[in-house]
Structure 1
């Protein structure tokens, strides 16, 4: 039989791993009697863990949400993952998250076993995180929007001098920015909003019935909405290079890179200026073809001729 302290940790780990457990199932896992399980549950409650119990057929135990946060039971991989996440949170685009993460990491460091503290310390000493530049999202706004998404509640907020009424569906983190994907009730269409630019109004609106999302891959949907869709010229290029190499040169804030096969990929990119598009595509440094729009291909031909003439006047032969 396990010692009481070890058994309590084991019981807590089981309750955290699954939402519901029958008393019999817990007793079998711990190799104790159901009576011992009941006593151990009472001891965990005294330590601050809110555990619900239901009797009768189908009854059992459930770790509930509480008013205070008791210590978490983490295995080695989970503890390292939490520590790494806290160390890299400075680049998450959330206001004040870096300072909050440092405080949380200090608390975690106090309870980590020496072997894990050494691993986390080694990683932390080697990693430098670049902080987010520019506006960041308020954590209170993120929390409020996330709660509305969970509860299917409409939200109203001030955005660029106007009041918007939306059905919120997902928060998407793209580089240094947080975006809300929502159904705009006034425009009867899907819209994306930068979270750092919106100010929620209270209270929240009525409940809504969720509708199908505009795309299965919301990350791609958002990237296209940020880099391509808003612009007059929307280019589709076939790059003659592996997708990994192209992705290194085309950041998500500029375009969307998608594989075709092992040697080629597509890049979707947008701009209101054909000169800017032409310069970008040439600067990527890969052989490419223009699929769309035809105006870009014609513009590249004119630009190529202009550059060729300039090189000849400078005494340089074309390569």
Structure 2
């Protein structure tokens, strides 16, 4: 590839990477003069790329949105990332698996042979979760409508369940959790923060007036959503957290512990601290390990082991208990 053409591709890649580029910084990154940068920008404009000049002390450039989509440029890392994202889109819960497959085929056709080869050697089989829940995937049109309302900061009306009246909310964030999509919003009628499953939302039009967004409790949407699903007080931690000592190597326990803390105490002994939404749940999780258990605390965890012990004993004898009393 001629040197000038290679430089043009490098310049285009830089312009795609960020919104504004000062002229001197582009010249430094390309190891050329400002005059050469200006000349290369003019060549890209002739090829149909809408590059605007940015005013300022040093001047600069911005790659704008044109009426027609010019050829896209991907470096090797971007090509790999795109292939992975499109091949695993079926497990996103967004109902866009077929569209993602078509998009990957379209993008592949316009890529150079070198990048096509890299994508072809990266074949990913996206296995969707076992459908234990009869929940339909959320459609792309619903996600687009919710995302547009969040971006525009406009109040949203939607039907949620057949038996309830339309909901009126101030939408703040669109998030994913456990393969589902959720809308985090301030419920205007209930005057409280709520999370709504996107697959149950049927947006109404038009949207309502614009609003000034407030911060979610704690200021961190990820921590807020985590706390809501864990049933905690907003700290993001589990409401019940206990500590035990297991007669197992730390390496064997840590492989099967997602967010617990494992500390090695010896070659076949470790300390495990983990949480869940209830004390019986904590005890049940720890009971998965086939090892002797020493409860460090608190007393609620000891009581939960006793409750489960009686329940398991009754189940073994054919006398199921109906409560945890």
Measured against the shorter chain, the TM-score band is: 0.7 to 0.9
Judged with a 3 Å threshold, the aligned counterparts in structure 2 of structure 1 residues 115 and 82 are, in CA distance, closer, same or farther, namely same
Partner of 1:129: 126
Name which of structure 1's ranges 151-160 and 191-200 shifts more when overlaid on structure 2.
151-160
Partner of 1:165: 168
Deviation (angstroms), 1:17 = 2.4
Partner of 1:254: none
Partner of 1:316: none
Work out which of the residue numbers 265, 268, 271 in structure 1 matches 2:273. 265
Hey, what's the Cα distance between the residues in 2 that align with 1:289 and 1:225? Answer: 28
Deviation (angstroms), 1:192 = 0.3
Partner of 1:301: 306
Hey, what's the Cα distance between the residues in 2 that align with 1:65 and 1:243? Answer: 52
Do 1:167 and 1:182's aligned partners in 2 also have CA atoms closer than 8 Å? yes
Hey, what's the Cα distance between the residues in 2 that align with 1:217 and 1:260? Answer: 27
Deviation (angstroms), 1:58 = 5.1
Hey, what's the Cα distance between the residues in 1 that align with 2:288 and 2:82? Answer: 36
> Which one has the bigger helix percentage?
1
Judged with a 3 Å threshold, the aligned counterparts in structure 2 of structure 1 residues 85 and 227 are, in CA distance, closer, same or farther, namely same
Judged with a 3 Å threshold, the aligned counterparts in structure 2 of structure 1 residues 162 and 31 are, in CA distance, closer, same or farther, namely same
**SS of the counterpart of 2:159?**
strand
Alignment of 1:1-319 (within 5 A): 3-30=3-30, 32=32, 34-55=34-55, 57=57, 59-95=59-95, 97-124=96-123, 127-131=124-128, 133=131, 134-160=135-161, 161-228=164-231, 235-238=240-243, 245=253, 248=256, 257-259=259-261, 263-269=271-277, 277=281, 280-281=284-285, 284-285=288-289, 287=293, 294=300, 298=303, 300-305=305-310, 307-308=312-313
Structure 1 spans left out of the alignment, 5+ residues:
251-256, 314-319
Q: Matched residue pairs, number?
A: 296
TM-score, normalised to structure 2, is: 0.73
Deviation (angstroms), 1:267 = 2.1
Deviation (angstroms), 1:261 = 5.5
Hey, what's the Cα distance between the residues in 1 that align with 2:218 and 2:252? Answer: 24
Name which of structure 1's ranges 143-152 and 171-180 shifts more when overlaid on structure 2.
143-152
TM-score, normalised to structure 1, is: 0.75
Structure 2 spans left out of the alignment, 5+ residues:
234-238, 265-270, 319-325
- CA RMSD of superposed structures (Å): 3.8
Hey, what's the Cα distance between the residues in 1 that align with 2:308 and 2:277? Answer: 19
Do 1:238 and 1:264's aligned partners in 2 also have CA atoms closer than 8 Å? yes
**SS of the counterpart of 1:166?**
strand
